[in-house]
Amino acid sequence: MKVAVTGGAGFIGSHLTDYLLKEGYEVHILDNYSSGHYFPEHPNVVLHEVDIRSERAQAIIEAEKPAFVFHLAAQADVTRSINNPCEDADININGTINILEGCRKANVKKIIFSSTSAVYGNLQKETIEEHDRTSPISYYGLSKLSAEQYIQLYQVLYGLDFTILRYGNVYGPRQTAKGEGGVIAVFMDRIKEGSCLKIHGDGKQTRDFVFVEDVVKANIAATTSGSNDIFHVSTNKPTSINQLAEILLELHPDSLETIHVTSRTGDIKHSCLLNEKCCEQLGWKPEYSISEGLQKTYHYYNN
């Protein structure tokens, strides 16, 4: 079976590509290689160096006619979105519309869209559910929410099936500390350098950290289940940034200092996503605890 993965050279996309190739799929990667640099040498992979906003990207999907399109390519940096909202909207909204047009013309079975918990903003809830109010506090969250709404409207107007997956904070091997990188990738770089760990604010802010291999399996599950719906891909367990630093420093043999710096604009205070719907309807569940995932990630970066 033929599939397309936008952003297939990036962090999550490269892990998804590996899994798809292992399962015997023909994989077409659409990536401009601005942040991802994954070049798998495999007879069943075709690399297309292309921007998702371009006519060529749309034409590739139309010509190749993949059964599924996994749309992961995005501008995923919150700070960058605030500094340059036009670029953020262009990539995340216009880029998604362009991919949707390719899917429509190619009669793609389903588009599986990688979204984010950032669409909720700072909801004052201990655990967030899929039907909760969306109120982004960054242009990144807003552009991803807009992309979701375009996808849903394409289903209404053209019958294009979709599954939207709203991720918690994804982490794991291959993640970079720039662009799509989260706090774990940043901490890993600091540990490797032997530098102090910088924590923004008081460090009591919490996130729902989900391991990349679990995210990949949720994407695969969405090929056969969950049509025209939204699901949380998460652990349903909050971890504070302070706790995160403690776990990593326990794994590291050398003593490192932690220091607190000013909070960042657009950062969410607390985020924990209920994953019950995804577990029940997609038949998926996270396999890695935060300790297990961090251990695997730490060994990758230090070997």
Distance (Å, whole) CA 29 – CA 7: 7
Rounded-to-integer distance, Cα 294 and Cα 211, Å: 8
Query: How many angstroms separate the CA atoms of 78 and 206, rounded?
Result: 17
25 is catalytic: no
- Provide the residue-wise pLDDT of the chain in tens; the chain has 303 residues: 999 999 999 999 999 999 999 999 999 999 999 888 888 889 999 999 999 999 999 999 999 999 999 999 999 998 899 999 999 999 999 999 999 999 999 999 999 999 999 999 998 888 999 999 999 999 999 999 999 999 999 999 999 999 999 999 999 999 987 655 589 999 999 998 888 899 989 999 999 999 999 999 999 999 999 999 999 999 999 999 999 999 999 998 888 888 988 887 777 788 899 999 999 999 999 999 999 999 999 999 988
The alpha-carbon radius of gyration of the chain (Å, integer) is 18
Contacts of 26 by beta carbon, 8 Å cutoff, 6+ apart = 1, 2, 3, 44, 45, 46
> Domain coordinates of the chain in residue numbers?
2-171+210-235
Choice among 25, 139, 140, 288 that is catalytic: 140
Q: pTM here?
A: 0.94
Q: What pLDDT score does 178 carry?
A: 66
Is the CATH code 3.40.630.30 the one for domain 2-171+210-235?
no
